[in-house]
Chains A and B, each alone.
Chain A
Amino acid sequence: MKKTLLTQALCASVLIGAIAAPVHAGEAELMQKIEKLAAELDAIKAELAANRKKTESVAQKQEVLAISVASNTASSAAANSVANSPMQSSPQTVISSYGEISYTRPRNASNETQADVGRAVLGIAHRFDEKNKVVAEFEWEHAVTSKDDNGEAAVEQLYVEHELDHGLRAKGGLFLMPVGMLNTSHEPTAFFGVHRNFVETAIIPTTWREVGFALSGAHDNGISWDAGVTTGFDLSKWDAASGDGAESPLGSIHQEGQLAKSHDLAVHAAVNWRGVPGLLLGGAVFSGKAGQASTDFSGNAARVTLWDLHARYTPGDFDLSALYSRASISNTEALNLTFAGQPSPVPSSFYGWYLQGAYKLWSNKNYSLTPFVRYEQFNTAARYSAMPQGLGVPVAPAEKVQTFGANFRLGEGVVLKADLQKFKQNSANDRFNLGVGYSF
């Protein structure tokens, strides 16, 4: 704009100069004057352009300086943080989600083929300050929940966590039990196979959570541990007439924070060691009485104890894991007498183990293909307490399942899965599964 004004002023002066020239001045003299003024005008124009360039360059430098100063000011303000650029500051509230959708076709009963939105989970974690946060996860199973549908809506986790010291944390609320490998890391992107493995479903009732308090610690030598006091199981829920207990003994009597009977509390402890890169060795134990002082109930002396040992080794593109878990329910004699004649009394012992190997066969920047094979053996009723002659139920044989399949990863958060499962005892269960899952 300045340039335009100046140009106009100069043009005006040229005109005035021309008009003011003596009438008797020769044409040549006039032309000379005009040319001189024109030359001066060009020189001024050039100077203006040069000045303009300089101004722009200074403005740019000032802008860079302003950004730098702003970022340093921000870092001074957050004097306790090293959060200054490139990532700015930590988000206070994080929304997360995972979900899995599957298609399952039994080999010998195609009429039972099913597609299911197995899980849709929404999570919110909010950090109040550097020491306190809350974690909440809400889950829908099987798509629709209503009086006439089979779906389920549940609070999967709801706890507050407080940091006491470096790596030492206390939490209270509804949280996942640190038993096995799948229970605390159960997103579809974290495990192989369309469906979760049987051992950590039938024996360890993933996703298993209890209400209570717990402490967690982690040390520089690679050892981390958990210990806590929580609600336990409610044996009075056992339904000897149904097959639920045979499918997952603890899954059929868990309470999940739903008006949980809390007369009998349980304790748990877990230790994991990750001292060698790629290797995890760990174990956990949980024990608590399960009668909950229920009225007119003959199982009030019963105690549920569950333990597991697990290992995972991930050298290079291999992913190898093994887990063994065993559980017992003590003092079930009197209770099982009341179940005489029914198909599913309370087992006194049940166990399972698996071996799994996976290998990342192919990958590029955005995709990876990892075939895997898993062999598992489990028995949800390996033993019953002694019953009078003729009233007992024979012990079931252990089921052995082979799973062959592959996970195909799309980036970090999406996985496509396919597998084939063969059952040794009950081959009618043989099935082919397809699935898609995500997690963020």
Chain B
Amino acid sequence: MKPLNPIVLSALGAGLCAFAPSAFATQYLTVEQAQQVIFPEASSFKLATLQLTLAQMQQVATLAGLPARSVAWRVIAAYQGEQLLGHIVLDEVIGKFELISYAVGLQADATVRQIEILNYRESHGFEIKNANWRKQFSGKNASAGLNIGQGIANISGATLSCTHVTDGVRRIAAIAQVALRK
């Protein structure tokens, strides 16, 4: 199996246990469910922590137009047999007041495959879960089309939630381009 070169494969067992199905009333998808929805053809998934170098963080900031925010990112690599299909990056952003947990599925070439909302806690703005809104991200990469008003339509009444998720996806697409692209 091809190792994930920039990824520090650490504490895999403990990490996977941490993503056991949730009892959250507000949780729409567990990470396992999101894996299956994003990469239904995958035969195995491997969780790892991606550690960005300073240079990579600077590249991400330039590409995304946003600070890279964190050195460590949780990444799940999806495989079909020995072949790497792509990655899922797990992240959270503040919507208006509360956290939105989401997963970004990326092709091996760092284009966005699919995004899934795992957890949404705000009183308004559930519409970011809407499949048609999420579909707008598919096939795009960090270079273009991942901005509100430029590729991603705003959701009236949920402007902050959709802006922050869109920014988050753009950052992750940039991380994928810099550190995960094969």
- Residues of chain A touching chain B, judged by Cβ–Cβ distance below 8 Å, are 64-65, 67-69, 71-73, 75-76, 78-87, 89-91, 94, 96, 125, 127, 130-131, 135, 161, 163, 165-167, 169, 171, 181, 184-185, 190, 216, 218, 220-222, 224, 272, 274-280, 312, 314-317, 319, 321, 360, 365, 412
- Within the complex, the shortest CB–CB distance from B25 to chain A, in Å, comes to 5
A277 and B155 form a contact (CB under 8 A):
yes
Q: Which residue of A lies closest to B93 (CB)?
A: A87
Q: Hey, which chain A residues are within 8 Å of B132, CB to CB?
A: 222, 275-277
Contact A81 B155, beta carbon cutoff 8 Å: no
What does the 1/0 interface line of B126-154 toward A look like (CB < 8 Å)? 11011111001000000000000110111
Task: List 10 A–B pairs whose Cβ atoms lie within 8 Å, in order of A's numbering.
Answer: A68-B72, A72-B14, A82-B90, A86-B72, A86-B73, A86-B74, A90-B99, A135-B123, A218-B126, A314-B149
Among B49, B72, B124, B130, which residue has its beta carbon within 8 angstroms of that of A184? B124
Interface residues of B (CB under 8 A from A): 8, 10-11, 14-15, 17-20, 22-28, 31, 49, 51, 65, 69-70, 72-74, 90-94, 97-99, 101, 118-119, 121, 123-124, 126-127, 129-133, 136, 149-150, 152-157, 159-160, 163
Closest A residue to B69 by CB, please name it.
Answer: A86
Q: Given A83-B92, A96-B97: A278 and B154 within 8 A (CB)?
A: yes
Which residues on the B side are within 8 Å of A314 (C-beta)? Answer: 149, 153-154, 156
B10 touches A275 (CB 8 A): no
Give A319 to B94 CA distance when docked, in angstroms. Answer: 24
What's the nearest-Cβ distance from chain A to residue B62, in Å? 12
Q: Are A161 and B123 in contact, CB atoms less than 8 angstroms apart? A: yes
| Interface pair A169/B127, CB less than 8 Å apart | no
In the complex, residue of chain A having the shortest beta-carbon distance to the beta carbon of B147: A363
Assess whether A412 is in contact with B163, with CB atoms less than 8 Å apart.
yes
Known: A71-B72, A72-B11, A72-B14. A82 touches B127 (CB 8 A): no
| A167, B17: Cβ atoms closer than 8 Å | no
| Chain A residues whose CB sits within 8 angstroms of the CB of B69 once the complex forms | 86
A71-B72, A181-B156 given as contacts; is B99 within 8 A of A274 (CB)? no
Bound CA span A89–B99, Å: 8
